[in-house]
């Protein structure tokens, strides 16, 4: 009995926290779909791509993935709030979380096929979707095998909420670690380089120099024809965009291949300004290059304007000065722009 009590006390908050976070996140995604229309583009929700469940019938698109996500969200939230449930509800929860695990595994298989085909320039051997598959397989087993008490205490619910908050903090870090480090480079009309600190003498900071070196490499490889540098004016008067422009010239990129955006005072402004430039120059495909921790947010901002971009992380010292602080800053920024872009 003592072992069973300890099992219930210490293990359930983690499982309930995972269910609560992913249930709420899936529910928000469902709301976004209802608000903006269910399309193949917004069915990729940063955790599970269900766009393959879209079926065209009599000229109409039937998005079964939307139904799966909605049902999974409801079952996970219900189990997180009240795990003491009848056998039938527990079985339904297991079926739905097991289905999520299966679809995540299929996403991982697609990733591995893409990786083996050489379509990814540089990537981790294990995708985030495989981690999601393992998490949901664990949830399924835990829900199936556990026998929670009929009544749960308030303290256990508080522990579950705390666990969900920890997962919410970790989620952007997973995006940074997996998506941010994947190099999707291929032929495109242009590459956009996002600004960073420039010193008063016009010298680029290490982070910005690495971004520019990556962009110059894309040009030298013949993957792009135009290079767009976007930055703002710093408090001391240093012109980021001009310094980036000069650096590109000094490294062999001709002026005819360069475009400059001097009003990129923030990531959001750089995205909006470069979307306008892309329209003016009829660019159909764009590469966004920046530090790896920056790329998930950049991708999100472009997607919010229905612009799909390829992301290419800089090649440099991942553990460089200031990198850890920049990564931590991306956690609230990721969630802020996710909600802003969604609602």
Q: What is the pTM of this model?
A: 0.91
- Choosing from 147, 178, 209, the residue where a domain stops is 178
- Choosing from 152, 178, 204, the residue where a domain stops is 178
The domain tally of the chain equals 2
pLDDT at 5: 46
Q: In terms of domains, do 150 and 201 share one? A: no
Residue 185 domain flag: no
pLDDT at 164: 98
pLDDT tens per residue across span 321-337: 678 999 999 999 999 99
Q: Which portions of the chain are predicted below pLDDT 50?
A: 1-9, 40
Q: In terms of domains, do 201 and 278 share one? A: yes
pLDDT at 296: 96
Structure tokens at 55: 């079926």
Q: In terms of domains, do 231 and 166 share one? A: no
Q: In terms of domains, do 164 and 194 share one? A: no
pLDDT at 257: 98
Q: In terms of domains, do 285 and 233 share one? A: yes
Q: In terms of domains, do 199 and 155 share one? A: no
Number of helices and strands (H, E) in the chain? Answer: 10, 7
Structural domain containing residue 217: 190-342
Please give the share of the chain, as a percent, with pLDDT higher than 90.
Answer: 74
Q: In terms of domains, do 159 and 202 share one? A: no
> Is residue 179 within 8 Å of residue 128, measured between CB atoms?
yes
If you write DSSP's letter for every residue of 59-109 in order, what string do you get?
A: TEEEEHHHHHHHHHHHHHHHHHH-----HHHHHHHHHHHHHHHHHHHHHHH
Residue 257 domain flag: yes
Q: In terms of domains, do 159 and 204 share one? A: no
Q: In terms of domains, do 14 and 161 share one? A: yes
């Amino acid at each position: 009995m003592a072992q069973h009590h300890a099992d219930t006390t210490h293990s359930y908050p983690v499982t309930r926290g995972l269910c609560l976070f992913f249930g709420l996140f899936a529910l928000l995604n469902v709301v976004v779909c209802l608000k903006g229309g269910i399309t193949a583009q917004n069915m990729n929700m940063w955790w599970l791509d269900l766009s393959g469940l879209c079926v065209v019938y009599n000229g109409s698109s039937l998005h079964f993935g939307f139904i799966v996500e909605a049902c999974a969200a409801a079952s996970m939230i219900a189990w997180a709030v009240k795990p003491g449930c009848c056998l039938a509800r527990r079985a339904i929860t297991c079926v739905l979380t097991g289905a999520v695990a299966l679809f995540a595994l299929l996403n991982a298989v697609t990733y591995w096929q893409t990786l083996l085909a050489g379509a990814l320039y540089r990537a981790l051997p294990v995708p985030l979707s495989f981690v999601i598959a393992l998490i949901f397989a664990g949830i399924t087993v835990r829900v199936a095998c556990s026998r929670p008490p009929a009544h749960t205490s308030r303290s256990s619910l508080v522990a579950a909420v705390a666990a969900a908050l920890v997962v919410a903090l970790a989620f952007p870090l997973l995006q940074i670690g997996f998506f941010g480090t994947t190099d999707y480079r291929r032929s495109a009309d242009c590459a956009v380089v996002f600004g960073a600190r420039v010193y008063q003498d016009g010298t680029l900071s290490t982070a910005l120099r690495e971004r520019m070196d990556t962009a110059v490499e894309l040009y030298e490889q013949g993957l792009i024809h135009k290079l767009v540098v976007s930055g703002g004016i710093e408090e001391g008067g240093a012109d980021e965009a001009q310094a980036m422009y000069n650096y590109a010239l000094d490294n062999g990129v001709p002026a005819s291949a360069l475009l400059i955006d001097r009003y990129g005072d923030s990531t959001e402004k750089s995205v909006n300004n470069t979307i306008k430039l892309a329209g003016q120059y009829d660019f159909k495909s764009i590469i966004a290059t920046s530090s790896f921790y920056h790329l998930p947010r950049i991708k999100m901002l472009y997607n919010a304007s229905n612009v799909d971009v390829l992301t290419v992380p800089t090649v440099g010292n991942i553990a460089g000065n200031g990198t850890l602080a920049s990564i931590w800053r991306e956690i609230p920024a990721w969630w802020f722009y996710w909600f802003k872009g969604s609602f």
